[in-house]
């Protein structure tokens, strides 16, 4: 690998050169915020976009440039906060010169040659990877597997059913703008340019992405396939209903599952309390139930309302929420890089918020 190795000698950290493409988008801005929290010096950051300009960074700003072969050649890692088409172009073009790319789009998630990684669930998928690309999952899938993986490891998984309640920021700047415009209006019309399949303010929209002939949406198909791939359970019985809700930030999931082996409620609770990346909240009302407001700007997946399902053998239900822009996107991508090479990229993960 090119560039200096990360060293902590007498308190001195030597940093990799980090690229963020899509730096002025919603997720790109969160990447930059996390890097600033970690202490990455501005001179070690390269921000890229479709137009030149500047992007906020820490208490100042950094220049935004176009990604070309020369710029790519100096990078140690490149994070893509871009759509699938742009990601493919970058990976097939300048990205060939970058040792590690973590892509946040759907472009490579289901490619059998590309690892799809949530470190708490399948960091081992990074071992011996063939290429320089690692895929970051859908924001709903990322949160779900942080809860499902420890249950899989302890008791096995027979089936998973979920309903996701996804914040408007999951649709990027256009989604946020549509929500704010509609929330400030008195009519029932959808805002011009809205990316949603119906008015989102004061309502919910039970369709994300396009409907297939069989009635499943593209978003739901992504969740099915990604959960199976990340958990390494290709035949897992899984079904999702994806719903857009009038929440700015924070995806939530109502999760119903069946284990393969017998497990008591207290056993499942203990597994979740010990699991990395989770914050467990008791279901007896002694603690506030997981809510998007509690997780915005924070790192963990919060899980609670754990209970058994009456009449269903080995059946359990719970409710979880996570910041879709952090664990569902930027933070997970940075954690992936750190898991791929802890010595080189580990310092990019800031203290847990």
Q: Which residues are catalytic?
A: 139, 251
Sheet containing 133-135: which strands, arranged edge to edge? Answer: 53-57, 60-65, 45-48, 18-21, 77-80, 101-103, 133-135
| Residue 277 CB-density burial (10 A; 0-12 exposed, 13-18 middle, 19+ buried) | buried
What gap in Å lies between CA 121 and CA 137, rounded to an integer?
A: 12
Q: Which residues contact 57 (CB under 8 A, 6 or more apart)?
A: 32, 35, 36, 42, 45, 47
- 46 is written with which tokens? 């390269």
Q: Which two tokens stand for residue 146?
A: 């942080």
Residue with tokens 């997981």: 290
Distance of alpha carbon 20 from alpha carbon 45, whole angstroms: 8
Of 58, 40, 9, 83, nearest in space to 337 by CA: 40
Distance CA(214)–CA(341), nearest Å, equals 42
């Amino acid at each position: 690998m090119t560039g200096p190795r990360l060293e902590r000698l007498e308190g001195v950290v030597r940093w990799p050169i980090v690229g963020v493409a899509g730096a002025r988008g919603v997720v790109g801005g969160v990447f930059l915020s996390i890097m600033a929290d970690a202490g990455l010096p501005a001179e070690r950051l390269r921000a890229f976009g479709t137009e030149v300009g500047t992007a906020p960074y820490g208490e100042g700003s950094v220049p935004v440039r176009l990604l070309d072969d020369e710029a790519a050649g100096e990078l140690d890692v490149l994070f893509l906060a871009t759509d699938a088409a742009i990601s493919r172009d970058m990976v097939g073009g300048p990205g060939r010169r970058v040792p590690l790319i973590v892509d946040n789009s759907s472009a490579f998630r289901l490619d059998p040659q590309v690892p799809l990684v949530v470190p708490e669930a399948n960091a081992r998928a990074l071992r011996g990877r063939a290429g320089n690309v690692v895929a970051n999952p859908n924001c709903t899938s990322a949160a779900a597997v942080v809860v499902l993986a420890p249950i899989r490891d302890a008791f096995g998984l027979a089936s998973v059913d979920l309903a996701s309640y996804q914040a408007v920021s999951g649709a990027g700047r256009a989604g946020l703008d549509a929500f704010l415009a509609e929330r400030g209006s008195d009519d029932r019309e959808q805002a011009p340019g809205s990316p949603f399949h119906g008015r989102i303010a004061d309502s919910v929209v039970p369709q994300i992405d396009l409907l297939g002939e069989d009635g499943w949406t593209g978003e739901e198909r992504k969740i099915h396939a990604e959960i199976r791939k990340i958990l390494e359970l290709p035949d897992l019985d899984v079904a999702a209903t994806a719903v857009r809700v009038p929440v700015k930030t924070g995806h939530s999931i109502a999760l119903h599952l069946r284990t393969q082996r017998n497990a008591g409620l207290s056993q499942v609770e203990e597994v979740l309390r010990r699991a990395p990346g989770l914050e467990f909240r008791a279901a007896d009302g002694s603690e506030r139930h997981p809510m998007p407001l509690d997780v915005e700007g924070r790192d963990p997946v919060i899980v609670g309302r754990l209970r058994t399902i009456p009449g269903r053998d080995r059946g359990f239900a719970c409710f979880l929420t996570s910041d879709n822009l952090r664990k569902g996107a930027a933070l997970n991508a940075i954690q992936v890089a750190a898991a791929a090479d802890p010595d080189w990229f580990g310092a990019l993960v800031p203290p847990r918020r």
